[in-house]
């Protein structure tokens, strides 16, 4: 992913120069030159952030669902222990 160094637009495309060197031209502001801003993973950080947020929410939901079950099991064990001690 490349961006225009002047206006930070994604609307930039490479034009092959006459002597083997590439240069770029921006559709938005009309910039042209060899210098562009390059991003290796332009869209990934945001996606990862969303995925991590979803994952955390899932874990949170899971914890919320699991907690009452945990106490039910604890209660059952206590009841079983009390019954076991009585007999």
**Cα–Cα distance for residue pair 20/31, rounded to 1 Å:** 20
**Tokens encoding 53:** 């947020």
Residue 28 found at the interface with Zn ion (CB under 5 A): yes
Residue 7 found at the interface with Zn ion (CB under 5 A): yes
The one among 2, 23, 25, 31 contacting Zn ion by CB under 5 A: 31
Residue 2 found at the interface with Zn ion (CB under 5 A): no
**Radius of gyration (Cα) for the chain, nearest Å?**
30
The one among 1, 3, 6, 51 contacting Zn ion by CB under 5 A: 6
- Residue 85 three-state SS: helix
**Cα–Cα distance for residue pair 12/5, rounded to 1 Å:** 10
Residue 29 found at the interface with Zn ion (CB under 5 A): yes
Binding site for Zn ion (CB under 5 A): 4, 6-7, 9, 26, 28-29, 31
């Amino acid at each position: 992913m490349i961006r225009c160094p002047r206006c930070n637009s994604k609307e930039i495309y490479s034009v092959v120069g006459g002597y083997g060197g590439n240069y770029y031209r921006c559709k938005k502001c009309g910039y042209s030159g060899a210098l562009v801003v390059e991003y290796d993973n332009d869209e990934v950080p945001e996606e990862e952030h969303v995925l991590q947020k979803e994952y955390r929410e899932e874990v949170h939901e899971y914890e919320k669902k699991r907690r009452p079950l945990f106490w039910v099991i604890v209660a059952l064990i206590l009841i079983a222990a009390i019954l076991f001690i009585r007999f």
